[in-house]
Amino acid sequence: MKETFTINPHEAALIRQYGLDPEKLQSCSVRSYSFGERIISERLPNVRLFIITGGKAKVGVTAPNGKNLILCFYISNGMLGEVELFSDAATGSASVTALNDFCCITIPTDRNKAYLLGNPAFTRIAASQLAKKLMRSTEQTVENTLYTAEIRLCRYILAASDNSLFRDIMTDVSYSVGISYRHLYRMISVLCNDGVLEKTNQGYRICDMEQLKKRAGQR
């Protein structure tokens, strides 16, 4: 993770889009994460609000049996940490891991809490984003309940891929899709044999995006 405490004009303008005045915020910074780095760790201290400026990250929770379930993916915009802010929680409610070069503006909530919670414009925007996350969570539940394993896997690959490259922790994939580790590799082998994916040293390259979208039930 790299961090700088200089906020450039573009980043200040983005902060204003959330109803916040950069001049009234204390100790903000800009952070960048590489693939696999943790941004927020479940059940560990988190006293920051993150405004995403670019990249992709996955959000997951760990069950008592140690299995990691991926809840959703964030792409290029939005916030992280608002659940902890509004629930007054000092620890992360979920783990957030970078899937590629991930950049964000961080706002320490312990130093800025009064300003954040007392700002009607910000709270309206945050409430809207929380509502959208709830809707996505409902959609995810429907997918896991009604869709076939192939559709779930193809949708997962589409969501997690970056520039047509899919790489992830395969145990996380199998838990999130709801299939065994062995069955996951059988399904990926079928996708490779059908020319949809190609295994490389970096991960799996998507060779036929249209076919992958079709198998994911997308047009």
Q: Parallel, antiparallel, or unpaired for β 29-33 and 102-108?
A: antiparallel
Distance CA 205, CA 39 (A): 26
Measured in whole angstroms, how far is the alpha carbon of residue 130 from the centre of its chain? 14
pTM for the structure as a whole: 0.83
C-alpha 154: how far from its chain's center?
17
Q: Distance (Å, rounded) from C-alpha 215 to C-alpha 219? A: 9
14/114 Cα distance (integer angstroms)? 20
Query: How many Cα neighbours within 13 Å face the side chain of 22?
Result: 19
Sign of the torsion angle spanned by Cα atoms 75, 76, 77, 78 = positive
pLDDT tens series, the chain, 219 aa:
999 999 999 999 999 999 999 999 999 999 999 988 999 999 999 999 999 999 999 898 887 777 777 888 777 789 999 999 999 998 999 999 998 899 999 999 999 999 999 999 999 999 999 998 888 878 777 777 788 999 999 999 998 898 999 999 898 899 888 889 999 999 999 999 999 999 999 999 999 999 999 999 876
- Structural tokens at position 194: 């059908």
